[in-house]
A and B are shown apart, each in its own frame.
Chain A
Amino acid sequence: MTRTVLAAVLLLAAPAALAAQADASPVQQDPQAAYNKLAKEFNEAMSEWQSELEATIEQAKKDGKRVPRAAYRQPTGEFVATAQEHAQQLAGKDDAVMFLTFILKNASSERNAVKWAIKTLASDHAKSAAIVDALDHLPNAMRISRGDVEGLLDEVAENHEDVDVRSRALLVRGRMRLELGREKQGIADLKKVVATSKDEDLLEEANEALYEVERLAVGAVAPEIEGVDVDGVAFKLSDYRGKVVLLDFWGFW
């Protein structure tokens, strides 16, 4: 009797369990595994492309021919498309961020996917802790979606609840502003990171960016050099105060 009931329960339960599994795609069941698989296949495709390209260049040199343009095309398309599908299946969930970040990191000519990724990060993930992993890669999308990238960085830098996430956004925005020649604003962002963050990595990165722009920029007093000449005789850069110095980092090699 018990056995019959058990069998009946199993018979009833089995299709239900199967149906539940079919509802959740493999990506939804295990996003990290899906990401690892995507990343692995992508890396393999890229190194294969790289060696094919080298071989093509070699061959073209031998033949005295031009390398066909198509040989330079990176095989990113299908992987970016897969990442986009996965992100769509995970829409609204933190796990979508790694796939969106994959698009920012690896897209070559897939402009629409990049635009979509930035918009999705802004609309669905700007308040999430997971956004932090995407921040470093936002500058990659500057040429495609400048306004959206800046908007997202502003939003996270100013309104995220976690100070470390805000600081990471400030760091990325500060460096980006320096590159764009908006020096004052960039320095202000970086100084704010130094003043408010307690994260050692963030502090180091911010100080490094500031060092270059404050100590090695045009208008800065050159850092002292105390060294020896090629014969081992000690001297200093400041020995030459009063003279114009053309400092040349060079070698015969």
Chain B
Amino acid sequence: MIPHERSLVDEWKDRPFALLGVNSDGTDTEEGLAKYKQQAKEMGVTWRSFRNEGNDPTISDEWRVRGWPTLYYIDHEGVIRHKNIRGEKQMEKVLDEMIKAAEEAAKAGK
């Protein structure tokens, strides 16, 4: 999971794409944050995450998340386009299509 995500982030770093996490490792405590930092370093997690905890309700409750991981594919206009596609090839295919659409929209806007 994480290695594949890292490769997506690297591959599309110059294109309109962002991987955003909602992380549930309890980084609102010092202990949780220290543990997170160490693991993030080991696993090469470079992307940004919201803290799930410390919000009332938590972000995952607000989004009715019942299982982890849960994935939402949100387009350049903020519209949910897919949910929970997990196969690596399928992920890349739909994201690539969405990124192309974002690039075209940006071009048309200029």
Contacts and interface: CB of A to CB of B under 8 A. Distances in A.
Interface in A234-253: 235, 237-238, 240-253
Contact of B74 (A222, A228, A235, A253): A222
A81 B51 CA distance: 52
B69 A227 contact: no
Contacts of B72: 222, 245-247
Nearest to B109: A242
A230 B23 contact: yes
B44 interface: no
Contact of B95 (A223, A237, A244, A253): A244
Given A218-B83, A249-B52, A244 B69 contact: no
Contacts of B36: 230, 252
B50 A219 contact: no
B61 to A, nearest CB: 11
Interface in A14-63: none
B79 A221 contact: yes
Contact of B60 (A243, A249, A252): A249
Interface string A200-243: 00000000000110001111111101011111100101101111
Given A218-B81, A223-B62, A248 B19 contact: yes
Nearest to A208: B64
B3 interface: no
A238 B78 contact: yes
A251 B24 CA distance: 5
A235 B20 CA distance: 11
Contacts of B91: 246
A227 B70 contact: no
Contact of B80 (A216, A232, A248): A216
B17 A244 contact: yes
A225 B69 contact: no
A51 B63 CA distance: 35
Contact of A242 (B50, B63, B79, B106): B106
Given A216-B64, A248-B71, A230 B33 contact: yes
B79 A220 contact: yes
Contact of A241 (B23, B43, B60, B76): B76
Contacts of A244: 16-18, 73-76, 95, 98-99, 102
B49 A252 contact: no
B80 to A, nearest CB: 5
Most central of B5, B27, B39, B65 by chain A CB within 10 Å: B27
B36 to A, nearest CB: 6
7 contacts: A220-B80, A222-B80, A229-B51, A230-B49, A235-B48, A246-B73, A247-B72
Interface of B: 1, 5, 8, 16-25, 27, 33, 35-37, 39, 43, 48-52, 54-55, 59-60, 62-65, 68-83, 91, 95, 98-99, 102, 106
Given A227-B50, A244-B16, A246-B20, 17 more contacts: A216-B63, A216-B64, A217-B80, A221-B80, A222-B78, A223-B62, A227-B59, A230-B36, A243-B102, A244-B17, A244-B95, A245-B18, A245-B20, A246-B71, A248-B69, A248-B70, A250-B24
